[in-house]
Amino acid sequence: MMIRCLLIDDEPLALNLLESYVEATPFLTLVAKCHSAIAAIEIMDQKDIDLIFTDIQMPNLSGMEFSKMIANNGSKIIFTTAFEEFALESYKVNAIDYLVKPINYPEFVTAANKAKQQILNTTAHPETTNYNDDYIFVKSDYKLIKIDLKDLIYIEGLKDYVKYYTICSEKPILSLKSMKSLEEELSGKHFMRVHRSYIVNLKKITTIERNRIVFGEKYIPVSEKHKENFQKFIDSDFS
């Protein structure tokens, strides 16, 4: 599969470097390169683009503003910038990766491979990007981490973030994600939301005590809103 790329950077040297990296990567093909995000919008009206490498700080229209404008068109984003302070914001716009200049080729191709995998997953499972029946990919600490669903015990929501608790790690995996979207994406995969702050793996439940699910020393409450659905699960599986 060839991935069609668009490069955006107002610095000619940086743009030329990215172009040389694309040319050196067998699964990437360069559709166009632009010195501004405004010019890139015109290109995207005419061409199909799978992956965009874009600088963040540019005159008139920043890379972050540009990414928000095209958020629904399906193109993947990898940010290239000299400023690390934009990293958190980049994940809020669902960027694949965040590369800090000067960028070397190993960093570039690692990010490109992440994009390739996501694009392949999207093509194979368009209704559940980054998800299939066996595992999920989550963004955490500038990386994509694969979590096997059979190892996932429960998920805890913390405002705009979630914590994934697994049997494989002593510490939870923190990621920028909403509980609502996770509830929808995990629907039908033996997971259930039992509280506004918790989604649990039904296959991992062994003990229920006073309307609370017990995972070791952790007690997860079942709220009134979700009590009826959870009771149906108990009646069918624990009777």
User: Residue ranges per domain, the chain?
Assistant: 3-124, 135-237
| Residue whose token pair is 């503003």 | 65
Q: Which two tokens stand for residue 56?
A: 């963040």
Q: Is the model's pLDDT at 41 over the cut of 80? A: yes
Q: What are phi and psi of 182, to 5 degrees?
A: -65, -40
Band (185; pLDDT cuts 50, 70, 90):
confident
**Main-chain phi, psi angles of 154, to 5 degrees:** -160, 165
Amino acid identity, position 21: Y
Average pLDDT, the chain: 84
Confidence of residue 129 (pLDDT cuts 50, 70, 90): very low
Domain 135-237 in CATH 2.40.50.1020? The answer is yes
Convert the pLDDT of each residue in 143-179 to its tens digit: 778 888 999 999 999 877 899 999 988 899 998 888 8
Kindly report the pTM of this predicted structure: 0.52
Q: Is the pLDDT of residue 198 over 60?
A: yes
Residue 86 pLDDT level (bands cut at 50, 70, 90)? low
Q: Round to whole Å and give the CA distance between 64 and 67.
A: 5
pLDDT-above-70 percentage for the chain:
87
d(CA 216, CA 167): 11
Q: Are strands 173-176 and 161-166 parallel, antiparallel or unpaired?
A: antiparallel
Q: For residues 222 and 212, give the distance between their C-alpha atoms in angstroms, rounded to a whole number.
A: 6
The fold adopted by the segment(s) 3-124 is Rossmann fold (3.40.50)
Alpha helices in 70-146 (DSSP H): 87-92, 105-124
